Amino acid sequence: MKFLATVALLATTALAAPADKLFNLKTSGASNSTHNDLYLSVGRGVVPDPLNSEAVFAGAAANRAATFYFANSTIYWSASSTSAPYALDLINVDGARKERAQISVDPTTGSKGFSITPEGVKGPSSTWDGWLWCPVNAEAGQFFPNLHFLNKNVQEPAVPAGCDKINLQAVPRS
C-alpha cells in the first residue's frame, strides 16, 4: 500500500513540476490585425470556469488570460480552482462545421503531440492544420470569439467563413 501511495505522490509531483514555466497563449499572424494580440481564456471569457471549458478570446487584457504549462507534449491549464489536470484537447466534429474543429479544455489527459516553436504552438499532426480565430456564434452558444483548429482531413473551405488563420504564441508569465 505504501508503494502505491509513493507512486501516486511521484506522479502528482511530476505533473506539477512544469508549473514553474507558466505561460499565456496569445494570437499573432492574423490577416485582420484586430485578431492579433488577444489572449486565450477558458470558460465564458470573464471568469475561468472548469465546468464550461470553451477556449475563448476575452480581449487583450493579459490579466484575464488563462495560464498554461507544457508537459510531455500536452498543454495543461494551470487552473487554481481545481486540482484536476485540465488540458487542451482537439475535438473533431462532424456536420456543417467539421472544417473548424473545436478546442476544449477538459479534465482529461488532453491531446498529445503539441510543440512550442519560435513560430508558435503547433498541434498534433494527425488532424491539426493550423489555428483559427472564429467569431461569436450565438446559435452555437459561443458568446466570445473562440479558438478552433483546421482539420487537415477536410479540404474545403480552406478557412471557414468569418474565421481567420492565426498563430498561437506561448508568452511567458511575468
Domains of the chain by start residue, with CATH: 21-172 (2.80.10)
Share of residues in the chain with pLDDT > 70 (%) = 64
Cell matching residue 38: 488577444
Query: Which residue bears the cell 504549462?
Result: 69
Q: Which neighbouring-strand residues pair with 104? A: 54, 89
Q: What is the rounded CA–CA span in Å between residue 45 and residue 64? A: 8
155 band by pLDDT with thresholds 50, 70 and 90 = low
Q: Is the pLDDT of residue 15 over 50?
A: no
Neighbours of 35 (CB within 10 A): 21
Note the pLDDT tens digit of each residue in 112-140. Answer: 899 999 999 998 877 788 899 989 877 77
3-state helix vs strand vs coil in the chain, percent to 5: 20, 35, 45
Strand boundaries in 3-145, DSSP class E: 23-28, 40-42, 55-57, 68-71, 74-77, 86-91, 100-106, 115-117, 120-122, 128-134
Contacts of 123 (CB under 8 A, 6+ apart): 90, 111, 113, 114, 131, 149
- Count of all residues that appear for the chain in the document: 174
- Average pLDDT estimate for 77-100: 66
C-alpha cell at 10: 511521484
* Residue 43, all three cell numbers: 470558460
For residue 112, the Cα-to-chain-centroid distance in whole angstroms is 12
Per the prediction, the chain carries an average pLDDT of 74
